[in-house]
Structures are given as structure tokens and as C-alpha cells.
Amino acid sequence: MSLLIKNGTVINPAENQMEKLDIFVDDGIIQKKEKNLEVNADRVIDAEGCYVMPGLIDLHVHFRDPGLTYKEDIATGSAAAAAGGFTTVCCMPNTKPVVDSPETVTYIVEKAKEAGLTNVLPVGAVTKGMLGKEVNDFEALKKAGICAISEDGKSVMDSAVYRKAMKEAARLGLPVMAHCEDINLVEGGVMNMDAKAEALGLKGISNAVEDIIAARDILLAKETGAKLHLCHCSTRDSVTMIQEAKADGIDVTGEVCPHHFSMCTEDITANEGNFKMNPPLREREDMETLVQGLHDNVMDVISTDHAPHSAEEKNQVMEKSPFGIVGLETSVALTMTNLVKTGKLTPMQMAEKMSYNPAKVLGIDKGTLNIGKVADIVVINPDETYVVDVNTFKSKGKNTPFDGATVSGKVKYTILNGKIVYSDAE
């Protein structure tokens, strides 16, 4: 099937290109990119007023499959990804069983292929059973198809174990995606440690919980040469540390989630589970530092930490609710509304942080709209305003504090391998 995308503003970080061009796709490949293309195509998309970006890449989602499919499964997660404009997602290994065997990797790869709505790249667990003791066989996991390693949901607290894992990851060229949390410092905290927590009578999680492990992981990356990617950075000091580490020549990248740049602890209006995520919403100064870090390109990646849970689990007070909110179907709108429309990020930077840079972190040949590349493309109307309604989500997870928010930025089409896998009109 051939496809012509007309009249859109093409934003292609790989060529620093932002201009009104038509794109012709055939055989799943970007064939032509010109002004006013005159060519016959099986299907024509009018992208007038829209941005045409490389398909978005989310380095951080939880698809809960195998084992926890009442929260999400690979098919519903893939549908949510497509609806959110994502053509590639990396799924974290804290499933049941955890992703620590080639068999589980193969299961995910096969099931994702069957769904056929987005590229799903499994992330392998760092340790057996994610118990923090025994480093997994990354070589075997890589052969089966993992794109990175992570113990997401927690940190490997034993630094010797983590160093060994990092050395092996460096040898194999696998990125290490780090969830930074000193579990011994958490002490039952459920939200940020501040006046709001006190007012709500809730135990707090201090910035040091994250910062101590971020510092350790940066030092271990320096020592081992591993490619370190810091997940869901939420504190002002994590931004400073990444900036310093980069200046020191350490191979580190930083990720920020939409909830951490869109909300802060002041926005928590009640003791409700949908405000609970890990790391938590921080203070205004942290949020502003994260935004500045994105603006300055200290922070490289926007990813969602899409963490679906059931309504029963999340419709509880914070002490009882699990950590996590869904993100795939609100990420474009929150980025557009809170970063691009406010002038904090250019549209080019948005494409960099949501596609081009994630591809670089993974070392995959994606995230570009260059001629000859696989046609993974998203068409976004930056000016379309709407109200977030969780009932329209493809995800099983409806857990988000952004339900009912008025946002700008609508995903109109998601194209995977030259095929339309999502259209907001259909």
C-alpha cells in the first residue's frame, strides 16, 4: 500500500529539517519528500496545520504481560501506544514472571508481533527474579531480543552486583536504564516529603532517596564505561548531576516524564491514588528545574513510565494504592500543552526528545524521516484542543490525575511500517 501525507510541516531532527513538505511512502519505506508532490497513492492524508514527526519512541512503559494482564496486556498496551503516537516502546521487566529468561523475552516479542500495532522492545531484568542478588545472562537475553537492561520498580541496592551488571552491559553494548531509589530511605513514604505531605498526614519520600542512587549509578557508569540512562528523573539535583556527568565525559542520558514536568506537589488536591507515582510529584522548584533541563538539552528524553493498574487498586488513598499512572495516551498533549505551547521547547526539541534521542539511546535505526528509512510516522495537530477522557483510552489503565484536563495537541495518525495503525477519526 502506498501513502501520501500532504501539506504537513515535516519535523525531522536527523536533518534539522522543519518545513512544509509532502511525504510519499511505499513498501513501508519513505520514498519521497518534496513540496507539492504529484504522485498517485492508494491513500492520501491531508496533514494541513499538522506536524509530521518521526514515530514516537517511549523508552519506558509497563505492559504487565505476562502475569498481570488484568492491568494491561501486550495487545491493549500496543493499542494505547499507537493511539498516543508511539511506533516503538520499551517494556519494563517487572512482570510475572520477570523478564529474566529468553523464553519470556520470546513470549513478549511474539505477542507484540501478533498485535502488530507498535514495535515492542523488551527490557531485560538486571538480576534473577529481580531479587538483586544474581546477575542475569545478558548475552542470552540479548540474543532473544532485549534492547536494554533495567531493574525498574526498584534499584539494585548491592553496588557490587550492579557494577558487575554494568560491566557486562558495557561489553554487550546494552544501555542500562536506572530507576534510582534508595529503598532503605523510603521508610513507608507515599508522596514527596514536604508541607503538603504533612498537611495530608502522609509519610514523605525525600529527594535524597533518588539523588543518592543517581550519584552512585553515575559513578559506576564512569568506572565501568556503561551507557547509563537515568529513568524518570524528578529532582533538581538529578539534573545538576547529569549536567556535571556529561561535562565529565560520562555516557549518561536523562529522562523526564510528562507528569513530573506538568505537575508538582501543589497540584495534589486530595489523598488519592491517582496522585501516587514513583518517584513522586516533587516541589515546584524541582519541576521548574526539570523543564529548564529539557530546554537546555541536559535532559535528553521524554518518556511516560506508563504504569497501568486496575481501578480497584488505584481508587484508594495513597497509603493503599500502588505507585504509577498511565501515560501513553496523554504524553503528546502534555508535552505540547506544557512545554511547546509555553515556549519551553521548540517543536524540533519535542521530536528530538520523543523520538530521535530515544533511538540514539537504544542505538537503533529509527527516529528519523530520512528518505529510505522505515516509515514510522506520527501526524499531530498542535492546535486541536480537547478534554482528556480516560473512557476513550485504549489502555486498560484509567489511572491518571489528568482526566478532565483541557489540553492542546492531538494525535491524528500513527503510521507503522507505512501502514496506518491509528487514526483519531476511525
* Residues marked as catalytic: 305
Question: Which grid cell is 230?
Answer: 537515568
Strands 406-416 and 377-387 come out as: antiparallel
Least distance to ligand DOR, CB of residue 420, Å: 31
Q: Does 324 bind ligand DOR (CB under 6 A)?
A: yes
SS3 label, residue 46: strand
Q: Looking at beta carbons only, is 150 or 368 nearer to ligand DOR?
A: 150
Q: Tell me the C-alpha distance between 361 and 57, whole Å.
A: 11
Which residues make beta-bridge pairs with 252? 228
Task: At 70, give phi and psi (nearest 5°).
Answer: -70, -20
The angle formed by the CA atoms of residues 306, 66 and 279, to the nearest 5 degrees, is: 30
* CB atoms closer than 10 angstroms to residue 187: 12
Report whether 192 contacts 259 (CB < 8 A): no
Compute the radius of gyration of the chain from its Cα atoms: 20
For the window 278-297, what string marks contact with ligand DOR as x by the rule CB under 6 A?
A: x-------------------
Q: Give the nearest distance from C-beta 95 to Zn ion in angstroms.
A: 12
Distance CA 81, CA 120 (A): 10
β 176-178/228-230 pair status: parallel
Exposed/middle/buried for residue 197 (C-beta within 10 Å: 0-12, 13-18, 19+): buried
Per-residue binding string, ligand DOR, 116-135, x by CB under 6 A, is --------------------
235 binds, among ligand DOR, Zn ion, none (CB under 5 to 8 A by kind): none
Q: Nearer to ligand DOR by C-beta: 169 or 325?
A: 325
At closest approach, how far in Å is the CB of 175 from ligand DOR?
17
Which of 149, 307, 340, 421 touches ligand DOR (CB under 6 A)?
307
> What is the rounded distance in angstroms from the CA atom of residue 36 to the CA atom of residue 350?
26
Give the footprint of ligand DOR on residues 343-372 (CB under 6 A): none
Instruction: Tell me the C-alpha distance between 219 and 380, whole Å.
Output: 40
Closer Cβ to ligand DOR, 94 or 101, answer by number: 94
If phi > 0 it is left, if psi is from -120 to 50 it is alpha, else beta; for residue 50 that is beta
- Give φ, ψ of 17 to 5 degrees: -110, 125
Q: Please, which residue, 170 or 178, has the CB nearer to ligand DOR? A: 178
In angstroms, what is the minimal distance from the CB of 325 to ligand DOR?
7
Alpha-carbon distance of 216 to 156, in angstroms, equals 11
94 interacts with ligand DOR by CB under 6 A: yes
Q: Is 272 near ligand DOR (CB under 6 A)?
A: no
Look up residue 75 and give its amino acid.
A
Q: In the complex, which residue's CB is closest to ligand DOR? A: 324
Q: Which of 30/326 has CB closer to ligand DOR?
A: 326
94 binds, among Zn ion, ligand DOR, none (CB under 5 to 8 A by kind): ligand DOR
Residues 6+ apart with CB under 8 A from 156: 126, 127, 132, 162, 165
Interface with ligand DOR in residues 151-210 (CB under 6 A): 152-153, 179
124 binds, among Zn ion, ligand DOR, none (CB under 5 to 8 A by kind): none
Could you tell me the smallest distance in angstroms from the CB atom of residue 209 to Zn ion? 12
Considering the complex, what minimum distance in angstroms separates the CB of residue 79 from ligand DOR? 19
Residue 152 or 194: the one with the smaller Cβ distance to Zn ion is: 152
Q: Per CB under 6 A, does 323 bind ligand DOR?
A: yes
Contact 359, 36 (CB under 8 A): no
217 binds ligand DOR (CB under 6 A): no
CB of 108 to ligand DOR, least distance (A): 15
Identity of the residue, 323 or 386, whose beta carbon is nearer to ligand DOR in the bound complex: 323
Residue with cell 550492579: 162
The CB-nearest residue to Zn ion is 179
Q: Which residues bind Zn ion (CB under 5 A)?
A: 152, 179, 305
Q: Which residues bind ligand DOR (CB under 6 A)?
A: 62, 94, 152-153, 179, 277-278, 305, 307, 323-324
